[in-house]
Each structure stands twice: as structure tokens, then as C-alpha cells.
Amino acid sequence: MRVGVVGLGLIGGSMAKAYHQAGHEVLAWNRSRSVLDFAMLSGDVNGELSSGNVCSCDLILLTVYPEASVSWLREMAPYIGTKPVVIDCCGTKRVVCQACFPLAQEYGFTFIGGHPMAGTHNSGYKYAKADMFRGAPMVLVPPVFDDIELLDRAKELLEPAGFGFISVTTAEKHDEMIAFTSQLAHVVSNAYIKSPTAGSHKGFSAGSYKDMTRVAWLNPGMWAELFLENKDYLLRELSMVIEHLNEYKTALEQDDREELIRLLDDGRRRKEEVDGH
């Protein structure tokens, strides 16, 4: 298999390493030439992905930010041809899919929206790992939902990455869910760490602190773009968490022990309902 990887950051670099380790040929494009040269020198990438060879790829993975993914695909669309399947790996799906589905239809290639549910708080090629996606979920947003052959083809093409589970949904449903499961967590964590008390936490913090602050360490440019592209769903989730936090605040202000117990018990039971014991 010949695979084209657009962007050699954490996700793209891990994809390149995974496919290389599985014995496939990897071509790559990266905004920074030095990173591309290093990846080729290390052997994870066989050559540069260009307008002259993009049509020979079986799979093209777009692993840059959403706007950059759309821009690259718009520029390269006339050269892709009918052979490659193009899958993006962006954190939101509506913006990318709305732009890329029509491009694919116009130029005759296949585009599928995708989101590998794996990563770390570190970014960049130096943190990329061949086993980054081993056992992780992968979400796909196909152009149509009754093309079983296309979905089977996508699963076959993605097999070297080692995903544990592949789910299929719409761009709208993906963005609604990701606002809660990922984006809200990053906002809350990032806000939580801004307490003046955080500066003297050492010696007083354990698992709770680590769990709450892990994703505060993020890539500001990338997350700002993702938040703004998904602001309708994210604002809804933010409004709900602010409303609930105000309930706890009011109960504390009023020394209302019974209400505080009720709120805490509601949260405990909700966790049990959605995740089990």
C-alpha cells in the first residue's frame, strides 16, 4: 500500500510510523521542510507527497488543522484522480466535510471524514509513536451510509494503524458529542488551573488534581480553531456546566447541607448511569 500523510505532527507522525512499521510505503507533506527531511532521514517516510505522485496513493490522510486540511485538498484536488481514498483526522467534522464532500464529487475521488480518538498533551513529530492508535476508537463520517463496500474498504485501509473500534456517524452528531467528551473537558481543565492556589499545590495534590489538569496542557492555536468551528455545541455544553456549578455555589453560600448532598448524589448516580460502577 502507498499512503500519503499530510502533516507530520503528533497524529500525522504517528500515522506515518504505524504504516511504515507495517511495511507500507509512506509519502508525506509537511509545512516545515526540516521536519519532513528528518522523517525521511529516520526512514519513517519514503519520500515527499506532491501533485506528481498523489494520484498513486491508495490512502491519503489529512492530519493538519481543519482549515489547513481543506486548503490542501482544494489545491491538490485536480491531481488526486480516482484511486486514492482521502480520510481526514481533524477534531471537528462539519467544516471539513461540508467543504471536502463536494470537492470529492467534483474531482472524482473518495473522501471520508475521520477522527482518531487518541493523542497526548504533547504535540509535534518528536512525540509521534507507531502504536499511538493501537486499540483506540476511530470515528468515520462517510458521504453515504449504505455503501458497505466503501466502509469495508476504509476499514481495510486503516487496519495498519491498529484501531480497536471503528464507528460511523454524521458530521453533526460527531461535533455534538465531541463538544461534551473532549472540548468541554479542555476548557474546564484550562480554566481550573488558573486558580492562584495552583502555584502552591505541590504536596497537597494527587490523582484528582492530575486528572483535572492533564488536558490543560494543550496546543492553543489548534484548540481555538476547533472551539470556534464547534462553538454552537460547545457553548451549549458550557452553559449547562456553568448552570450546574452555580447550583453548588448557591448551596454553599446558603449553608444548605441537604441541597449539597442532593446535588452530589445526583452527580454520583449520573456517573453510575452512564459509565457503570
pLDDT by residue (tens digit) across 14-52?
A: 999 999 999 999 999 999 999 999 999 999 999 999 999
The pLDDT tens digits for 252-276 are: 999 999 999 999 999 999 999 999 8
Half-sphere exposure of 249 (CA within 13 A, CB side): 6
Nearest to 247 by CA among 228, 267, 233: 267
Q: Which domains does the chain have, with CATH numbers?
A: 2-169 (3.40.50.720), 174-275 (1.10.3660.10)
The pLDDT tens digits for 133-159 are: 999 999 999 999 888 999 999 999 999
At residue 242, the 3 state secondary structure works out as: helix
Tell me: pLDDT of 1 over 70.
Answer: yes
Q: How many CB atoms within 10 Å of residue 263?
A: 16
For residue 16, which amino acid is it?
A
Predicted pLDDT at 277: 65
Report the range of poorest mean pLDDT among 12-16, 110-114, 210-214: 210-214
pTM for this predicted structure? 0.91
Rounded CA gap, 17 and 133, in Å? Answer: 11
In the structure grid, which three cell numbers stand for residue 137, read together?
Answer: 476508537
Rounded CA gap, 146 and 47, in Å? Answer: 36
Scan for cell 497537597, then name that residue.
204
Segments of 126-277 assigned E as strands: 137-141, 165-168
Q: Say if residue 213 is exposed, middle or buried (CB neighbours under 10 Å; 0-12, 13-18, 19+).
A: middle
pLDDT bin (cut points 50, 70, 90) of residue 87 is very high
